[in-house]
Structure 1
Amino acid sequence: MKILAIHGSPRTTRSMTRQLAGFVLAGAAEAGAETEMIDLTDYQILPCTACEACSINGICVNPDTMPDLLVRMKEADALVFGSPVYIDNVTGQMKVFFDRLADAIHYQQCAGKYGCAVVTTAESGGDEVAGYLNHVLNYLGAVSVGGMSVATGGNPDAVDAAEPAARALGKKLADAVRNGYADPAQEAVIAENRAYFRTIVEENRDFRIDEYERWVRMGWI
């Protein structure tokens, strides 16, 4: 069982968001998971240009390290998304990363995985951004087991106080991988999204034969 955390704070190892995600991974490790933390700033991820080339062959025209990150996501059983709140939303690093997930979203390459979201903020917006991170997990086809946000008020000790809850979230995530986790509301959203993406898969069936056949095997087409 492998659980991968991806956080978008430009503060890297000094980040309170990274610290919070680390507590989640610690809880997952206690439950028997192999864990890994990824700092998006360690990767060169260029912005999406909306050229739609990836729809033809699944390969982005941008010469960067995003393909390496996608491989690690696909190898994981569960994902933890983390971001601080920057002007009521995720960081720029996280948003560029999300935009580059378009092909993974259209082809539901994280279907069957689980996830959760962690957010830190000074005062406000934390719950909304955690909801957005979980929304992206659903777009990818993953089911979230929950999310949490910590409003620090400028006090870094606030994250330490949240450690027990974060570890509990990590254990819940590991348990979902091991035993399954159902949420009919999320599953309905995922099914609705998939019905929309099916048109893209069908339109490119002659170019993306393997992906099309995978959708047939999964019963999505």
Structure 2
Amino acid sequence: MKILAIHGSPRTIRSSTRKLAGFVLEGAAAAGAETEMIDLADCRIIPCTACDACTLNGICVNDDDVPALLARMKDADAIVFGSPVYIDNVTGQIKVFFDRLADAIHYQQFAGKVGCAVVTTAESGGDETVAYLTHVLNYLGVVSVGGISVATGEKAGAVDAAEPAARALGKKLVGAIRDGYADPVQEAILVDNRAYFRSIVEENRDLRTDEYDRWVKMGWIR
């Protein structure tokens, strides 16, 4: 099994968020998972221009690193999203990436995967940002097993103190992959999301026959 962490801190290897996500991956690795970390700040990601070209065939007109990132996400069994809090929300790096996921969201291309969210902040906004990252996971069809937020107060050692909880979250991801994970509240959200996106799939059934057939096979279109 494979667990992929994607974080949006511009500090890359110096990032507290990366360190926290790393603890999650270490917990998952100790439980038997293969893990990978992606630093979005090292990737070339062109902002979405809302041209809708991807609707025709699932291919973006921009030539950058996003297709490779999507391939790595599809190859993973679980996805960890991480971000520090910048002005009460996620960083620009991860938000630009999220905006490029519209087609994957519309067609629910990551349904069946599990995930979690990790956030660091100086003082405030951590829980709200965990909730936002969880919302994006759900938009992608991913069920979250939880999240962790650390308010550092600019104090050294604050993230280290959260290591046991982060490792436990990684272990929980592995258990969810192996044994399944159910959350009635999130399942209801996923059902509502698919109902909303169904019209897009049906409208493009002649252009995206494989995706349409997958929705029929999954029982999302009858």
Counterpart of 1:14 in structure 2 is 14
Separation in structure 1 between the aligned mates of residue 156 and residue 210 of structure 2, nearest angstrom: 48
| Correspondence 1:168 to 2:171 | no
Separation in structure 1 between the aligned mates of residue 73 and residue 197 of structure 2, nearest angstrom: 20
Render the CA deviation track for 1:42-63: whole Å, top value 9, x for unaligned.
2101110001111110001111
In structure 2, what residue type is equivalent to 1:49? T
Separation in structure 2 between the aligned mates of residue 55 and residue 173 of structure 1, nearest angstrom: 32
Counterpart of 2:210 in structure 1 is 210
1:7·1:94 contact (CA, 8 Å) conserved in 2?
A: yes
Deviation at 1:41, TM superposition (A): 1.3
Deviation at 1:33, TM superposition (A): 0.4
SS of equivalent residue, structure 2 residue 87: coil
Counterpart of 1:57 in structure 2 is 57
- TM-score w.r.t. the length of structure 2 is 0.99
- Map 1:154-193 to 2 at 5 A: 154-193=154-193
In structure 2, what residue type is equivalent to 1:168? A
| Root-mean-square deviation (Å) | 0.5
Separation in structure 1 between the aligned mates of residue 61 and residue 23 of structure 2, nearest angstrom: 36
Counterpart of 1:80 in structure 2 is 80
- TM-score w.r.t. the length of structure 1 is 0.99
Render the CA deviation track for 1:10-47: whole Å, top value 9, x for unaligned.
00000000000000000001111000000001210111
Counterpart of 1:139 in structure 2 is 139
Deviation at 1:156, TM superposition (A): 3.1
SS of equivalent residue, structure 2 residue 118: strand
Counterpart of 1:108 in structure 2 is 108
Unaligned runs of 5+ in 1: none
Total equivalences in the alignment:
221
Separation in structure 2 between the aligned mates of residue 190 and residue 66 of structure 1, nearest angstrom: 24
In structure 1, what residue type is equivalent to 2:174? A
1:16·1:156 contact (CA, 8 Å) conserved in 2?
A: no
Counterpart of 2:150 in structure 1 is 150
Unaligned runs of 5+ in 2: none
Separation in structure 2 between the aligned mates of residue 6 and residue 65 of structure 1, nearest angstrom: 13
